[in-house]
Amino acid sequence: MPSSPDSLQAGAHWVVLTGAGISADSGLATFRGGGGLWEGHSVEDVATPEAWARDPQTVWRFYQMRRRALLEVEPNAGHYALARLERHLNDVGARCTLVTQNVDDLHQRAGSNVWPMHGELCKLRCERCGHLTEDREHFDFDFVPCPECDFPRLRPHIVWFGEIPMGMGEIEAALQTVTHFLACGTSGAVWPAAGFLHAARQLGARTFVNALERPENLAPQDQFLEGSASEVLPRWVAGWMGEDLPSAP
């Protein structure tokens, strides 16, 4: 177990990066990567600014189905464990920065403060006036007009292929003071996770990787936590907090 007394004390700054693996444990299809297909379309064909310009009805239908799917899922034990870790760190005067590549709202619903670097399914944005709105009431296939300027269709507040991830300046600033870094449910071999992990190592942070399989580029100093996020994280967070671990079922 990696628990060390300084891990959870004032001055520590944990940066946690989560990816598709933690949402998959809630039963959510994520589509990104792996040549994912949706109704015969490659995801690249429905997740680009060009697709939105060329065929907004198809893109909107894809995102409305994904937005609706959020109503059917719940945060899992992995999400709750990270929210618990954050609360504990805040209580002892330490920092926790949770960055996610996921566009669902499961971290938020579990009680975490999160930087969603690829956007959020539950928000819509106006391309004309920039108005950003949280929308949890329109789930059919009609476009939603902008409440501010009446532009006829808001777009999903999602970072599409070819667009720049959100909050990168803040995330890079957070990485300057990282003391502990955890990558969870995201391939440590792929940008940006690999870049964050590398930056954390360079700064001498303790580094942890949770994934179903050992990534090829794991460094000797990384601690690898094999298994699904929902099984591994609750036990591991309990260990960090110095609690007796429940025995494995």
Residues lying near Zn ion in the complex (CB under 5 A): 126, 128-129, 131, 146, 148-149, 151
Tokens encoding 137:
């009431």
Please list, in sequence order, all residues whose beta carbon lies within 8 angstroms of the beta carbon of residue 181, skipping any fewer than 6 positions away.
14, 15, 16, 17, 196, 197, 200, 201, 205, 206, 207, 208
Of the pair 146, 171, the CB lying nearest Zn ion is at 146
Residue 172 beta carbon to Zn ion: minimum distance, rounded to whole angstroms? 30
Q: Give the residue numbers marked as catalytic.
A: 118
Residue 128 beta carbon to Zn ion: minimum distance, rounded to whole angstroms? 5
Pairing of the two strands 180-184 and 114-116: unpaired
Residue 136 beta carbon to Zn ion: minimum distance, rounded to whole angstroms? 19
Residue 153 beta carbon to Zn ion: minimum distance, rounded to whole angstroms? 10
Residue 150 beta carbon to Zn ion: minimum distance, rounded to whole angstroms? 7
* Residue reference for tokens 């959870």: 8
24-55 in b/e form (b: 16+ CB < 10 A) is: bbbebebbeeeeeebeebebebbbbeebbeee
Of the pair 131, 198, the CB lying nearest Zn ion is at 131
Q: Is 193 helix (H, G, I), strand (E, B) or coil?
A: helix
Distance CA 25, CA 111 (A): 17
Contacts by 88-91, CB closer than 8 A, 24 or more apart = 88/8, 88/241, 89/8, 89/12, 89/14
Of the pair 2, 130, the CB lying nearest Zn ion is at 130
Please list, in sequence order, all residues whose beta carbon lies within 8 angstroms of the beta carbon of residue 190, skipping any fewer than 6 positions away.
33
Of the pair 106, 126, the CB lying nearest Zn ion is at 126
Of the pair 92, 129, the CB lying nearest Zn ion is at 129
